């Protein structure tokens, strides 16, 4: 089994989703992203009132799911700037890719899904990733 600790070079990237096409009155109420050949190393900010889960599977095919718990916590589109740090798999058999959907709503009774693919994301390569450790 391959792990990040045994790789000679660890490459971290900073991910943004700069241009989400949200209609007037719509707000983000959830999202689902799948990462191929990478793991979610950090989510830069999780707002209050959101439920977020990350599945960093040992296969380096990972998923993140998030949704609002209360309507007041819904987000405006610009919330996806520099939102995640992802570690790319060093010896990947499949190309690095991110895809998924953003869920938006204007009235919180009906939702609309916006599909996003690798072409929609901006990825800043070779960033310095500083780990934070809990105090002992």
Residue 45 lies in a domain: yes
Judging by DSSP bridges, how do beta strands 84-88 and 38-43 pair with one another? antiparallel
Terminal CA-CA length for the chain: 30
Q: Is 97 left (phi over 0), alpha (psi -120 to 50) or beta?
A: beta
Q: Is residue 118 over pLDDT 90?
A: yes
Rounded-to-integer distance, Cα 96 and Cα 36, Å: 5
What predicted TM-score, i.e. pTM, was given to this entire model?
A: 0.83
Q: Is the pLDDT of residue 130 over 90?
A: no
Find out whether 60 and 92 touch, Cβ atoms under 8 Å: yes
> Which residues form the domain of 56?
10-124
Do 27 and 76 form a contact (C-beta atoms < 8 A)?
Answer: yes
Query: Which CATH number do you get for residue 120?
Result: 2.60.40
Q: What is the pLDDT of residues 16-36, one digit of tens each?
A: 998 888 888 999 999 999 999
Q: Is 3 part of a structural domain of the chain?
A: no
Whether 132 maps to a domain, the answer reads no
**Number of separate domains in the chain:** 1
CA distances from 87 to 4, 30, 130, 131 (A): 8, 23, 12, 12
| Residue 55 forms part of a structural domain | yes
Residue 136 lies in a domain: no
Checking if the pLDDT of 54 tops 70, the result is yes
Residue 107 domain-assigned?
A: yes
């Amino acid at each position: 089994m391959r792990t990040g600790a045994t790789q000679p070079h660890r490459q971290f990237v900073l991910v943004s989703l700069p241009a989400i096409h949200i209609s007037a009155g719509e707000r983000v109420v959830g999202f689902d992203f799948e990462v191929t050949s990478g793991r979610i190393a950090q989510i830069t900010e999780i707002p209050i009132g959101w439920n977020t889960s990350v599945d960093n599977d040992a296969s380096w095919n990972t998923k993140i799911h998030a949704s609002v718990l209360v309507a007041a916590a819904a987000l405006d589109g610009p919330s996806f700037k520099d939102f995640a740090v992802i570690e790319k798999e060093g010896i990947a058999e499949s190309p690095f890719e991110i895809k998924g959907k953003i869920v938006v709503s204007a009235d919180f009774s009906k939702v609309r899904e916006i599909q996003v693919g690798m072409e929609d994301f901006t990825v800043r390569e070779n960033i310095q990733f500083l780990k934070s450790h809990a105090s002992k």
